[in-house]
Homo-oligomer: A and B are copies of this chain.
Amino acid sequence: MSTIPHPDFSAERFARSPEARFEPAPADGVLPEGFFTTTNLPTYVRVGGRWRMPREPRMDGALVLSADGELWVREGRRVRQGEQVAMGQAEDGTEGIYVHASWMASGAEGEFKFMTSEVSREKPVDYARMARLLVEERERGGYPVWVTGPALVHSRARADMTWFVSNGFVGGLLAGNAVAVHDIEASIFGTTLGMSGAGEATTGGHGLHMRAINRVRAAGSIAKAVEQGVVRDGIMHACVLHRVPFVLTGSIRDDGPLPEVVTDNLAAQEAMRSHTKKATLVVMIATALHAIATGNMLPSFVTEADGSLRELTTICVDSSEFVVNKLKDRGTHQAFGVVTNAQDFLHILRLYVERELASRGKAGG
């Protein structure tokens, strides 16, 4: 149990601290505008030349000086009309109140704040900023690397992802066998893992991904299956059509696999690295394995042509905070987390990109 030393009030910084200022509560349960709101940290109030600690400390209360000279922390609703309430916002003693925060661990960063966690579903998502970044990357010929998991295809974000591939926002696509399998099952049979677009498991559906794989294996490759009209739309189709390079890496979970899949993991890492070393922006969606694998290979920075450095923007989208925190825990500290559903993310991002393009007088394509 760590002890907390009291502040040294003989220090020069406290020499000119004024007395705390008090005002009467205007009504029962109502505080004077400009009241001081408490934190849960050790708090010292300058009254009568002394630094005094209030009783019953808690956050979100007011400081009340009772008639008998005692100092209390009290919830606003319990304050009566006319009671003396401490005023001010400064927590550094310059208004007569000092909140002792410096002893705290880094989590709170030496100041009492709410919402300091880096990744949380409770934080807003800045789609406008992400859309601007994507459009700017396209304009200056950057190399955005997209890393995607199969949930993207499952959950019907497929059309939106195809749009991003077709419109020049994807420099290279890193994914696993499953992304291509689901995408191609959707193209041939209209299902993913036998689940209809409305999310229902279909009878006999469990074999459809195997039939899709078999047709591509019969064609010889994804590219040939596109050529032969076996695969007529979707993400892989767009990659082939628009010559967007992709790396499909294998895993022990794979069915098939599809012909292009790099089944050896060391060869797969080499193939991935040939893209990550050129990356000027990274978007990771709904994958722990591929996100962390890519994070392992990425520098946290981009070296510009003139030798200057900038942070490598790394967006990581997942339905739980866990994957983003894990990515950071494995050293990819620059990752910026978005906690949401992959389908919804892509849908809104596309809307914002289209809006950004319109505002610049650019066509969607």
Contacts and interface: CB of A to CB of B under 8 A. Distances in A.
A345 to B, nearest CB: 7
Interface stretch (A164-172, A260-268, A355-363): A260-268
What is the copy number of this chain in the assembly? 4
Interface in A122-139: 122-126, 129, 133
Interface string A192-225: 0111011101111111001101110110000000
Give the interface size class of chain A: 35 or more
A63 B341 CA distance: 38
Contacts of A113: 194, 201-203, 205-206, 331
A328 B117 contact: yes
Interface in A37-58: 37, 39-42, 53, 56-58
B333 A60 contact: no
A310 B2 CA distance: 6
A114 B296 contact: no
Main secondary structure of the interface of A (DSSP, over half): loop
Nearest to A268: B252
A155 B114 contact: no
A142 to B, nearest CB: 10
B3 A309 contact: yes
Contacts of A332: 40
B194 A115 contact: yes
A272 interface: yes
A192 to B, nearest CB: 8
A325 B120 contact: yes
Interface stretch (A15-23, A238-246, A285-293): A285-293
A304 B160 CA distance: 40
Contact of A116 (B268, B298, B329): B329
8 contacts: A53-B303, A58-B296, A77-B266, A115-B193, A121-B155, A126-B199, A251-B289, A341-B344
